[in-house]
Structure 1
Amino acid sequence: MSYDEVEIEDMQWSDDLSAFTYPCPCGDLFQITLDELKTGEEIARCPSCSLYITVIYNPEDFEEPPATEDTRIPQQVEVS
């Protein structure tokens, strides 16, 4: 069972860890990476103890944008 449920808005971004973090009662930080969020992961784990939290967020906010078609302008071909 999850220790707690935390809104993504209540978490802090850490450039050093490249992850969203939230204080753990053990003194360390729960962590979840942007890549984990993009794949639909919702569990942030503490690296120092066995606790974890469930992160509440909208997965659509972290989806990769759809690939776009090649929009290069075709080169003109001279006809003789």
Structure 2
Amino acid sequence: MSEDEEQVSIYDEVEIEDMTFDETLEMYSYPCPCGDKFEIALYDLRDGADIAVCPSCSLMIRVIFEVEDLPKGNEDGGIEKGKEVVVSA
């Protein structure tokens, strides 16, 4: 465990199965005691991140998951950064 990981104060550990997945935003969320939601992006989970943060308070949770169990999506993990998206009417 790195020095940074030792200094992170985790409120709780939550199984990913207990979180809500928004397919449109590709974001997992979980209710925070403050009334908002902890959030972590699918992209971040695939990249090895496991800390979901609440945007309204200082609480954080550790997400317990296996990378191979995450939703597959498309090969490049969604819309590539820097690519122009054309929407026709």
State the TM-score, normalized to the length of structure 2. 0.64
Distance (Å, rounded) in 1 between the aligned partners of 2:71 and 2:16: 15
Distance (Å, rounded) in 2 between the aligned partners of 1:22 and 1:29: 5
Gaps of 5+ in 1: 67-80
Distance (Å, rounded) in 2 between the aligned partners of 1:32 and 1:18: 9
Identical pairs, percent: 53
For this pair of structures, how many residues does the alignment match? 66
Corresponding residue for 1:21? 29
State the TM-score, normalized to the length of structure 1. 0.71
Residue 16 of structure 1 and its aligned partner are, at CA, apart by 6.0
Distance (Å, rounded) in 2 between the aligned partners of 1:12 and 1:63: 13
Deviations 1:21-71 (A, max 9, x none): 0000000000010100110000000000000000000023349798xxxxx
Gaps of 5+ in 2: 1-8, 76-89
- Detail structure 1 runs of 4+ shifted over 3 Å in the superposition: 15-18, 62-66
Corresponding residue for 2:78? none
Distance (Å, rounded) in 2 between the aligned partners of 1:11 and 1:32: 10
Which structure has the bigger radius of gyration? 1
Corresponding residue for 1:42? 50
